[in-house]
């Protein structure tokens, strides 16, 4: 009888150990299932990414074609302005013409420039305009340009993209001791490397026109 009881005890002990192992297996299985679920989600995301990548590859030729068309349009527009209409001469990115046929007051000079399709010169870079005047054969001593003194006393350019832009008032722009007096219109003086001066707007001088894009 003791033998049977001992055997039963061992069986119960083994059964209890098996139940413990089974519980551990269930826990491990739960962890595995959770990890598997995570892996499946990541696979789903990769599949979506792959699909989007394929779509981008399919549309890339169309996008490249559109970019090429836009590039051609931009450079085509630039090419359209690669030359200046007569009688203007292209210097850097601007077009100038110096009139030496007739001396006019500042307002009349501006109207004459308008008749040619431009306005009195209001350069983005005054050095470029000076280089142009220096390249002209028999350049005039004085020329009107498109700068005026406003009622509040500031000097500004008058035309094109520069309209309303303040003029640099340093000595790199102006002659010594100018602007001074009551002159409200701006010209350039050849014997001073075409630095600026101010005169009465009715003073008659030659002038520089600028074609405006």
Tens of pLDDT along 155-205? Answer: 999 998 999 999 999 999 999 889 998 899 999 999 999 999 999 999 999
Same domain for 75 and 100, yes or no, is: no
pLDDT band at residue 15 under the 50/70/90 scheme:
low
Same domain for 75 and 98, yes or no, is: no
Tens of pLDDT along 54-113? Answer: 665 666 555 555 544 443 443 333 334 458 999 999 998 899 999 999 999 999 999 999
Same domain for 99 and 76, yes or no, is: no
Domain boundary among 59, 80, 101: 80
Cβ contacts of residue 169 below 8 Å, gap of 6+? 155
**C-beta separation of 99 from 206 below 8 A:** yes
Same domain for 73 and 99, yes or no, is: no
What distance in Å separates the CA atoms of residue 74 and residue 169, rounded to the nearest whole number?
36
Indicate the DSSP class of residue 136.
Answer: S
Reduce the DSSP state of residue 69 to 3 states and report it: helix
User: Bigger pLDDT: 204 or 18?
Assistant: 204
Same domain for 58 and 100, yes or no, is: no
Same domain for 13 and 47, yes or no, is: yes
Reduce the DSSP state of residue 212 to 3 states and report it: coil
Same domain for 112 and 55, yes or no, is: no
Same domain for 185 and 112, yes or no, is: yes
- What pTM did the predictor assign? 0.61
Same domain for 142 and 55, yes or no, is: no
Same domain for 20 and 124, yes or no, is: no
Query: With 50 as the cut, is the pLDDT of residue 33 above it?
Result: yes
Domain boundary among 35, 60, 80: 80
**C-beta separation of 104 from 201 below 8 A:** no
Q: How many domains does the chain have?
A: 2
Same domain for 16 and 73, yes or no, is: yes
pLDDT value at position 148?
97
Same domain for 98 and 139, yes or no, is: yes
CA distances (Å), origin 204, targets 14, 103, 104, 164, 188:
122, 5, 4, 24, 13
Tell me, what CATH number does 187's domain have?
3.10.100.10
Question: Domain range spanning residue 56?
Answer: 1-80
């Amino acid at each position: 009888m003791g033998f049977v009881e001992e055997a039963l005890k061992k069986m119960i002990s083994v059964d209890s150990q098996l139940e413990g192992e089974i519980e551990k297996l269930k826990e491990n299985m739960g962890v595995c299932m959770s990890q598997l679920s995570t892996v499946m989600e990541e696979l789903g995301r990769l599949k979506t990414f792959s699909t989007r990548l394929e779509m981008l590859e399919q549309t890339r030729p169309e996008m490249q074609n559109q970019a090429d068309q836009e590039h051609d349009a931009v450079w085509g527009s630039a090419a359209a302005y690669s030359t200046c209409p007569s009688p203007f001469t292209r210097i850097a990115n601007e077009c100038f013409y110096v009139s030496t046929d007739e001396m006019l007051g500042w307002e009349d000079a501006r109207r004459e420039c308008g008749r040619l399709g431009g306005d009195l010169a209001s350069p983005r870079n005054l050095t470029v305009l000076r280089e142009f005047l220096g390249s002209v054969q028999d350049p005039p001593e004085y020329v009107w340009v498109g700068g005026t003194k406003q009622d509040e006393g500031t000097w500004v350019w008058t035309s094109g993209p520069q309209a309303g832009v303040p003029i640099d008032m340093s000595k790199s722009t102006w002659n010594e001791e100018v602007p001074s007096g009551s002159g409200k219109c701006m010209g350039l003086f050849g014997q001073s490397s075409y630095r600026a001066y101010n005169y009465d707007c009715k003073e008659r001088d030659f002038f520089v026109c600028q074609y405006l894009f």
